[in-house]
Amino acid sequence: MSTREQSVLARVALTWLTEPGTRSVYGLVDELGPVRALDLLLDGGAPQEGLRDSVAARSRAGDARLVAAEALERSDRLGARVVIPGDEEWPMTVEQLRTLHLPDARRRVDRETAPPLCFWVRGPWPLAEILDRSVAVVGARAATAYGAHVATGLGYGLADRDWTVVSGGAFGIDAAAHRGALNAGGRTVAVLACGLDRPYPMGNTAMFDRIADTGLLVSEWPPGAEPLRPRFLIRNRVIAAGTKGTVLVEAAARSGATQTTRRAIALRRPAMVVPGPVTSAMSVGAHELLREEPATRLVTGLDQVLEEVGRIGEFAPVPRGPDRPTDLLDDDARAIVEAMPPRGRVDVDTLAARAGLPVRTVLRTMSMLEELALVVRGSDGYLLAAGPGRTTRPN
């Protein structure tokens, strides 16, 4: 067995023994290497009592090395591969999880945020390459029609601009973003909280098959692993760390999607929030993030997302109303136009009084306004030029 094969087997066994993200296990692997770290744990030498108890409990269910070997065989049959640090396609961005810190973390899932030991990957793209130019689009499972519309548009637009769309494969916002990217003929990645052979939810099976054909399915858990609730929160750190930025589209209070966004903030990645109706329960969590987190950015469309994650100099156009003929006028000229009666003629003296300007200023400015076709001069005064579809001529 080659050195890499030994490392892969050990990393898979360690992932089965303890949940991904466990900092004490990652520390042992970093210090001893995966093979020696596995030997130490199986010999009962874990430095923490809780870790020793966890390893002992899991070991009663089977031999970790045999379980790992079976998982690798199932991966081969599935057409999946295992990617480990040192491989060319290992996404180096996830190494930034070393420094991921969530302020005031009380739950174990928020403290155990170590980098992955390995990834299971199914699909044609190298993992590092497909994540190199990627954006996460996450949000509520119980999405509204508004949220699904926004997420689909973002997924389509990002893919159309050659960005990879990353999400969790769930119902609602996740699925809308994935399908938008697929409809654009672009790349999308679903990061799962279970084995690749049982992607969850099953209702999205057809979508997962399309993603595996043209993008990637990715998981930290071996084939056969169940989609347990805590695993979704563990998985979220990879979505935040593996992408250039995260866009939150709808999230109820206490939504897991807000946790993904907070992880992006902790990693100092662009964290963007799409606002929703203030009356919508599906936007409560999103709006609270905007209120509580100064690092979040409100975005309303693709151009603003690209401004946050794109190259220097990629700025979104500033929203503005339609151009008007008076936009380029100076203050005096604009005051004169505003003082013109909507109908009928006005003489210069009356117009000067209405505009509050000297008569000579009005006379000088009226010539310019005539050249701009904003006013028309007649024998007994001036009137506003004809609007679209009307023809006004002086008598």
- Please give the pLDDT value at position 389: 34
Confidence category of residue 388, pLDDT binned at 50, 70, 90: very low
| Cα–Cα dist 91/125, whole Å | 12
Whether 325-384 and 79-309 are alike in CATH topology: the answer is: no
Rounded to two decimals, the pTM is 0.82
Q: Is the pLDDT of residue 309 over 80?
A: yes
What dotted CATH number matches 79-309? Answer: 3.40.50.450
Crossing angle (nearest 10°) for helices 359-371 and 348-355? 100
Contact in structure between 215 and 207 (CB atoms under 8 Å): no
pLDDT of amino acid 299: 97
Instruction: Average the pLDDT over 228-257 and give the result.
Output: 93
Q: What is the pLDDT of residue 394?
A: 42
Q: What pLDDT digit, counting tens, does each position of 324-358 carry?
A: 666 678 889 989 988 989 888 899 899 889 989 99
Q: What is the pLDDT of residues 70-120, one digit of tens each?
A: 999 999 999 999 999 999 999 977 777 777 766 667 777 777 889 999 999
For the chain, what is the mean pLDDT?
A: 90
Comparison of pLDDT for 386 and 260, the residue scoring more: 260
C-alpha span between 134 and 217 (Å, rounded): 14
Preceding amide of 47 cis, omega within 30: no
Burial of 154 from C-beta contacts in 10 A (0-12 / 13-18 / 19+): buried
pLDDT band, very low/low/confident/very high, at 242 (cuts 50, 70, 90):
very high
- Which CATH number applies to 325-384: 3.40.1190.20, 3.40.50.620, 1.10.1740.10, 1.10.10.10? 1.10.10.10
Domain spans of the chain? 1-67, 79-309, 325-384
Radius of gyration of the chain (CA): 30
Residue-by-residue DSSP string for 48-80? SHHHHHHHHHHHTT--HHHHHHHHHHHHHHHT-
